[in-house]
Structure 1
Amino acid sequence: MKRLFQFIFLLCMAASTITAQEKKAYTLEDVIPGGSNYFNLTPKNMSGLQWWGDVCVRTEVEEILSVNTKSGKTSTLVTLKEINDALQQNETTKEFKPLRTLTSASLPYAGRKEVVFRHNHHMIGYDFATKQITLCLNLNERAANFDFCKENSSVAYTVGNDLYVSAPQKGNKPINPILAICPNENGYASGPSIVYGQSVHRNEFGIMKGTFWSPKGNYLAFYRMDQTMVTDYPQVNTSTRIATLEPDKYPMAGMTSHKVTVGVYDMRSEKTVYLQAGDPTDRYFTNISWAPDEKTVYVIELNRDQNHAQLVSYDVASGKKLEVLYEEKHPKYVEPQHPLIFLPWDQSKFIYQSQRDGFNHLYLMDTQTKMYGDTQQGKDGESTYNEYRKTTPLTEGNWLVQDVLGFNTDKKEIIIGSTEISPLQTNIFSLNVKNGKRTLIGAEDGMHRAQLSASGTYVIDNFTSASVPRIVSILPTNGKKGVELFTATDPMIEGYKLPEITIGTIKAADGETDLYYRLIKPVDFDPNKKYPAIIYVYGGPHAQMIHNTRFYDARGWDLYMAQQGYVMLTVDSRGSDNRGIKFENCTFRQLGTEEMKDQVEGAKFLQSLPYVDGNKIGVHGWSFGGFMTTNLMLTYPDLFKVGVAGGPVIDWQFYEVMYGERYMDTPQTNPEGYKEANLRNKAGNLKGRLQIIIGGTDPTCVPQHSYTFLRACIEAGTHPDFFVYPEDGHNMMGRDRVHLHEHITRYFNDFLK
């Protein structure tokens, strides 16, 4: 009897072990950002790493650590308690609440033991050698768009639409004229239509900020944007008892745009000079750059048609235009996105980035050697350019430079990120300026995000791939092996039953171009079954949906739908990113046409798979993907049976000037292209089930797109479904995002499964 009980006990233990080892199913709460368990199931990261000159440091809640570049061992530099003690002992800061965390602190001064952080509406510096507060700049409680300059220990920031500088011994100074002592009813001192110190041109052309410190900190260049002539788009806030009008300044394609000028503020004289660029209504002012001697400021100016770019220099003291150093034309569009970068060992030369040879590459320009500027043909066969300074290509080939991290001055090398190994990856290389030799830094596999040390000797490399959840390392830039600081595991892989994910290529509709696809089979895949399939689509410029990262960039919803029993496919069609200018601009003046043909090739690929039910193919996408989803449902109604379109563009004449005119020209100059891409004209073609979902105050694809489409469907007798997230913008965040994906899932389960 005893043996029988022991046998039964062992069986129970074995059964419980098997049960414990069984992998679980996941929910939307597990895989969607905003879900209650989402962050517990993503690979951990080693946050707070940065460079203090050539010393690697890590900022944590309670302390800042130095990290040995050879061994990875850590030692404490400064503690939160030390800083709070110093704050209490300082006359200015003694009434401040205690600082709670050091995670956002920085050590900007190589060789100086000083920590800088924002606290209690102040910018504060603490010297951990003398244990004294060294800097305390007062900032407005509504301050935003902070831009700290380590050369002068000052910070530029905005309050509403006004620009200020806070400097040691000088306090806060307004840069723009303040028209009222108190803010007006809109919260702005200088009015809602004049904007200082913020990004302009709707963040196109690589513009992500509005202030630009000079190399020595003696000047601040800034954008001034006049929107008084721009039409107000009437957004409505429905959360108030009586709905409130809260308009956006929104220049639609072909309409009057804002005026931008560039100011230069002198920190010593406290006076501003504006660049004398002439009439600002016909141009975009992009990629502001400083000469190392601070005597010249450079701007890449782009005409309204976006097919002619000029690199222009201006005199800082007077604002006068000096000369054009380089210009580039393209019959479709030129898109400058990168400021000049001067060589630290030769301040007469700078790096210019261009797609004139088909891919974004680096060109070294010599400011001291003038050229006649004869017109030359780019290797892409369409670009033409004029060099008024001696120019030497530094990189070339059918791959592109994605980023310039900085320099190794001693070795005269540039550290870059590029797609040289694969367009699905970003790898880090050192590039020798003299001979063009490139040396790989880190693993050949995957995506690498790197921070370069001050001397360019080391990088902090954050590496992920489809097979590596995360490895964080310190690597020497000579290509040799470094030290691993952190290796992550993937909780999803360890604890949950996941689908099979593969990538491959299919031919584009042109029969020649290879397109990358990602295919996800259902969880517990049975090759003898027939499954419904969904294409998740974007398809537009500046986006790529497939990379060599975790799950090949598949989103949590894609994985969830595979668990629900769907085959999931994504194709990076022509028009998308990182494949060169011809791959992207084949869609010019006809957005949707070529991209849809390629997505149809993806649908045909699905139909060729024996386990896919070819009569049950759905499509889903957001923004440009919403435009594609709606277009596919209306143009190929017998192929696509169910679609969910989020925040869709319906009519490109309702979209904004900069993006819309780059890819479509204006409605006045391209009426046929706008007509073909106007989905209201196809409203009567709808056969399947189409749901449109928008944010109620979307400032990117304004609600008018979807409202006018609904009216067209009513008049055509077709019946799309419609859902609005009140007061949400172009994307749903937090809990709304979980609800959104519950809603999308239910729609496909109701009508496609």
Structure 2
Amino acid sequence: MKHLKFSFYLCVFFVAFLSAQTKQITLEDIWNGSFRTESMDVLHSMANGKQYAVLNFNRDTRSTSIDVYDYKTLKKEKTLVDSKDIEALRYFTDYTFSNDETKVILATNETSVYRRSVLGNYFVYDLKTKSITPVFEEKIQQPTFSPDGAKVGYAYKNNLYVKDLNSGKTTQITFDGEKNKIINGLTDWVYEEEFAFVRAFEWNSNSDKIAFIRFDETLVPEFSMDIYGQDLYQTQEVFKYPKAGEPNSKVSLHIYNLDTNKTTKVAVEKLYNDFYIPRIKWTNNSNVLSAQYLNRKQNVLDLWFVNAKTNKANLVLTETDKAYVNVTDNLTFLKDNSFIWTSEKDGYNHIYHYSDTGKLINQVTFGNWEVTNYYGYDEKTDRIFYQSVENGSINRDVYAIKLNGRNKKRLSSAEGTNDAAFSADFSYFINTFSNASTPPQYTLNNAVSGAVIKNIVNNEALVLKLSEYKFSKKEFSTIQVNGNDLNMWMIKPIDFDASKQYPLFMCQYSGPGSQEVANQWNSANDYWYQYLAQQGCIVVCVDGRGTGFKGAVFKKVTQNELGKYEVEDQIEAAKQLGNLPFVDASRIGIWGWSFGGFMSSNCLFKGADVFKMAIAVAPVSSWRFYDSVYTERFMGMPQDNASGYDDNSPINHADKLNGDFLLIHGSGDDNVHVQNTMRLVEALVQANKQFDWAIYPDKNHGIYGGNTRLHLYKKMTNFINEKLGDKTN
């Protein structure tokens, strides 16, 4: 009944929200944080399963703290550590508990290296003695407690170290680390970006061994970027970046024994010489390490079990695919060392249970839908918890199912996007829910029934603020294009009149496995689309072939030809939408960022009879310029697929430009290098095509900092207003 009252309250609130709209959105509103949502920062479920910890910031004392709350009452029970009480530490920005939760690593002075990697100063705070100890005096990376909490492993200048917290002694494990040559225990640039991890070392359960990956970057070509800064002369950032078809780092797997101070190189009998090691993880046996080896084509993934005592490796499981095999973090070992695994081998991503020898015990989930997140396995109740799109590919729900695949139960109830953070004992979960009309709501839920126990955060303040503004409804539908029902949303002007004709502005990303048409709360771009709609544009997003969560066939149809089918779908969708009586077919535009910029460029060039204008931000202009792991996963090697690389490169279609084109890039983009834009500019110049472009000095792939985002979106908005005509003014 409490839940029904809460839902009724929200309905009443949104009626008021819709009826009170008077203000119009401004670009300043979007980029000054006016529409920021409340969240729960650095949530950690305590080992007792009854409490959770969060990172809080006190504006009055300008200090940070780790506060512990009770799951049942949601009341704050205690503060574990507060920076105002620590003379050596003014603040901290992150924390990590030891397994027994008697110590915590506090992070401060963190600075980004690349997308996921940071350098920082780290301290170990003892919750019993209230003492604080620096892990190392200089900035380090990835400090990690041993399972017994007595040691911390970390990386410094490409070498690995272990600090004994009892004796204070530090032991150096590797000695050959050198920038742009050898990396021990950390990933290189391309692994960090494409395999989504930074720490390449793992403690075993007995805390007496560390497995780590060594990267030899010696033969990897270097890329350099000028950094203009504020000084009289620019500097250069030089780093190893393997482009498609070029040499990768040579990787090897090693195990360090803390008792003998010896390192052993792991040898496995692979059938391929060029390979990746995208994941390592110790099993529940402290002497058995699991390692995943992936061939360079990324269509064969081998799971090996390595015995650290004998250095023998057994091949346990092999995944193959005509296109590529996904690498995930879902591998979970049960007490008997049987394991849970996810795979697309039946055409959709599902959960499987294997024995410790790799024999299939059973497929846990079935159906023409995808498992989109794996949360964990509760041994007490023999249940697996996961997220899926069973309720439509634009929605997400939380489910529980027995390990044998029976007794499946939907634990979330509201239609939209649901995501769960479970307590350590799987008795509770904090559900984050939102949809296109509801900002994020955090609720405490019972993990058995899914019932809401209490409301934690519902962003009432934001809803109240938004009630002052004019918003259009985001209308979800499908559009049949090239034989497929594609997910679509449309935003019309608030004063939409079906007897009038409006310009159409299409947004998309379109990358493999991606999704832009999702029933979830606004991103900053969504507010921008509302801003464009209130100025008289119809804004549309279509997820074409190659995007995710509709099965492997739909997603992998673009294999070896990125930019072919995706562009065909956007052009055909634009044609169909242009036939609507309220759309002015002579004023259709499209934009995108990164892969989306690659797409919008191609759409304008190849669809000259359809699109009047396009904006491309930080686009790939040729897949020959992009990194090896991502590009070869979808395109193979350029040496083997020249036509696939060249036939859909915007550079090779620049002479077809017939509309208005705005090209934007950051000069400090370490991901999609500004080289892409420079080569496209040269192609356009030599084709004698007029266009507009802008370079943001020293800005990375995100193009942000200070007024940068505001400036960028003003520039793009002005371009849209100018090129799509006076009805957007």
TM-score under structure 2 length normalisation: 0.87
Please give the per-residue CA displacement for 1:107-137, whole angstroms capped at 9, x wherever unaligned: 5556x6665534694422333xx5x236635
What displacement does 1:145 show? 2.7
Match of 1:157 in 2: 154
| Structure 1 position 717 matched with structure 2 position 705 | no
Supply the distance in 2 between the matched residues of 1:260 and 1:362 (Cα, whole angstroms). Answer: 29
SS of the aligned residue for 1:555 comes to helix
What displacement does 1:139 show? 2.3
Supply the distance in 2 between the matched residues of 1:153 and 1:427 (Cα, whole angstroms). Answer: 40
| Structure 1 position 357 matched with structure 2 position 346 | yes
Which moved further from structure 2: 228-237 or 243-252? 243-252
2:712 to 706, 726, 740: 740
Distance 1:745 1:77, change over 3 A: closer
Supply the distance in 1 between the matched residues of 2:423 and 2:355 (Cα, whole angstroms). Answer: 26
SS of the aligned residue for 2:337 comes to strand
| Structure 1 position 195 matched with structure 2 position 183 | yes
Match of 2:61 in 1: none
Aligned residue identity for 2:724: L
What displacement does 1:300 show? 1.7
Aligned residue identity for 2:325: V
Match of 2:143 in 1: 146
Supply the distance in 2 between the matched residues of 1:725 and 1:706 (Cα, whole angstroms). Answer: 12
Which moved further from structure 2: 515-524 or 151-160? 151-160
What displacement does 1:281 show? 5.2
SS of the aligned residue for 2:544 comes to coil
Conserved in 2, the CA contact under 8 Å of 1:230 and 1:250? yes
Distance 1:720 1:415, change over 3 A: same
| Structure 1 position 567 matched with structure 2 position 566 | no
Supply the distance in 1 between the matched residues of 2:301 and 2:389 (Cα, whole angstroms). Answer: 25
| Structure 1 position 411 matched with structure 2 position 411 | no
Conserved in 1, the CA contact under 8 Å of 2:282 and 2:289? yes
Conserved in 2, the CA contact under 8 Å of 1:265 and 1:273? yes
SS of the aligned residue for 1:157 comes to strand
What displacement does 1:170 show? 4.7
| Structure 1 position 308 matched with structure 2 position 300 | yes
SS of the aligned residue for 2:718 comes to helix
Supply the distance in 1 between the matched residues of 2:146 and 2:342 (Cα, whole angstroms). Answer: 25
1:247 to 226, 238, 241: 238
Aligned residue identity for 2:331: L
Supply the distance in 1 between the matched residues of 2:599 and 2:509 (Cα, whole angstroms). Answer: 7
Supply the distance in 1 between the matched residues of 2:583 and 2:106 (Cα, whole angstroms). Answer: 56
Can you give the 5+ residue segments of structure 1 that lack an aligned partner in the other structure?
A: 1-19, 88-95, 180-188, 369-387
Map 1:114-263 onto structure 2 (within 5 A).
117-118=106-107, 121-127=121-127, 132-133=129-130, 136-171=133-168, 173=170, 175-178=172-175, 190-200=178-188, 201-202=190-191, 203-239=193-229, 240-263=231-254
SS of the aligned residue for 1:245 comes to strand
1:80 to 79, 82, 90: 82
What displacement does 1:420 show? 2.0
What displacement does 1:686 show? 0.5
Match of 1:401 in 2: 371
RMSD over aligned Cα, in angstroms? 2.6
TM-score under structure 1 length normalisation: 0.85
Map 1:171-570 onto structure 2 (within 5 A).
171=168, 173=170, 175-178=172-175, 190-200=178-188, 201-202=190-191, 203-239=193-229, 240-277=231-268, 282-320=274-312, 322-338=313-329, 340-343=331-334, 346-368=335-357, 389-481=359-451, 482-489=453-460, 490-491=462-463, 493-509=466-482, 511=483, 513-551=484-522, 555-570=526-541
What displacement does 1:257 show? 1.5
Supply the distance in 1 between the matched residues of 2:616 and 2:607 (Cα, whole angstroms). Answer: 15
Distance 1:701 1:107, change over 3 A: closer
Distance 1:309 1:46, change over 3 A: closer
Conserved in 2, the CA contact under 8 Å of 1:633 and 1:641? yes
Conserved in 2, the CA contact under 8 Å of 1:287 and 1:339? no
Distance 1:435 1:256, change over 3 A: closer
Identity of aligned residues (%): 27
Which moved further from structure 2: 546-555 or 156-165? 546-555
Distance 1:672 1:51, change over 3 A: same
What displacement does 1:99 show? 4.4
Please give the per-residue CA displacement for 1:78-112, whole angstroms capped at 9, x wherever unaligned: 4638x82xx5xxxxxxxx435446x74455556x6
Distance 1:714 1:335, change over 3 A: same
Map 1:681-692 onto structure 2 (within 5 A).
681-692=652-663
Aligned residue identity for 1:124: V
Aligned residue identity for 1:162: N
What displacement does 1:626 show? 0.6
- The alignment covers a number of residue pairs equal to 680
Conserved in 2, the CA contact under 8 Å of 1:235 and 1:245? yes
Aligned residue identity for 1:76: K
SS of the aligned residue for 2:554 comes to helix
Aligned residue identity for 1:55: K
Aligned residue identity for 2:218: T
Please give the per-residue CA displacement for 1:28-68, whole angstroms capped at 9, x wherever unaligned: 1211xxx22x2x32332244543112122344346655433
Aligned residue identity for 1:196: N
Conserved in 2, the CA contact under 8 Å of 1:306 and 1:662? yes
- Structure showing greater radius of gyration is 1
Conserved in 2, the CA contact under 8 Å of 1:546 and 1:553? no
Can you give the 5+ residue segments of structure 2 that lack an aligned partner in the other structure?
A: 1-18, 59-64, 110-120
SS of the aligned residue for 1:741 comes to helix
Supply the distance in 2 between the matched residues of 1:342 and 1:733 (Cα, whole angstroms). Answer: 41
Distance 1:197 1:594, change over 3 A: same
Supply the distance in 2 between the matched residues of 1:109 and 1:298 (Cα, whole angstroms). Answer: 21
Conserved in 2, the CA contact under 8 Å of 1:287 and 1:340? no
Which moved further from structure 2: 487-496 or 301-310? 487-496
Supply the distance in 2 between the matched residues of 1:395 and 1:572 (Cα, whole angstroms). Answer: 26
Supply the distance in 2 between the matched residues of 1:237 and 1:457 (Cα, whole angstroms). Answer: 51
Conserved in 1, the CA contact under 8 Å of 2:23 and 2:468? yes
| Structure 1 position 26 matched with structure 2 position 25 | yes
Distance 1:277 1:29, change over 3 A: farther
Distance 1:153 1:499, change over 3 A: farther
SS of the aligned residue for 1:125 comes to strand
Please give the per-residue CA displacement for 1:168-217, whole angstroms capped at 9, x wherever unaligned: 135464655335xxxxxxxxx62332122223443324545322222343
What displacement does 1:232 show? 1.1
Aligned residue identity for 1:737: R
SS of the aligned residue for 2:629 comes to helix
Aligned residue identity for 1:442: S
What displacement does 1:625 show? 0.5
Match of 1:702 in 2: 673
Conserved in 2, the CA contact under 8 Å of 1:52 and 1:108? no
Supply the distance in 1 between the matched residues of 2:102 and 2:307 (Cα, whole angstroms). Answer: 37
SS of the aligned residue for 1:526 comes to coil
What displacement does 1:349 show? 0.7
Supply the distance in 1 between the matched residues of 2:710 and 2:629 (Cα, whole angstroms). Answer: 32
Distance 1:447 1:689, change over 3 A: same
Which moved further from structure 2: 235-244 or 251-260? 235-244
Conserved in 2, the CA contact under 8 Å of 1:135 and 1:168? no
What displacement does 1:394 show? 1.1
Supply the distance in 1 between the matched residues of 2:498 and 2:468 (Cα, whole angstroms). Answer: 25
What displacement does 1:592 show? 0.8
Match of 2:73 in 1: 71
Aligned residue identity for 1:233: F
Match of 1:630 in 2: 601
What displacement does 1:552 show? 8.6
What displacement does 1:572 show? 0.9
Match of 1:371 in 2: none
Conserved in 2, the CA contact under 8 Å of 1:52 and 1:109? no
Supply the distance in 2 between the matched residues of 1:702 and 1:554 (Cα, whole angstroms). Answer: 23
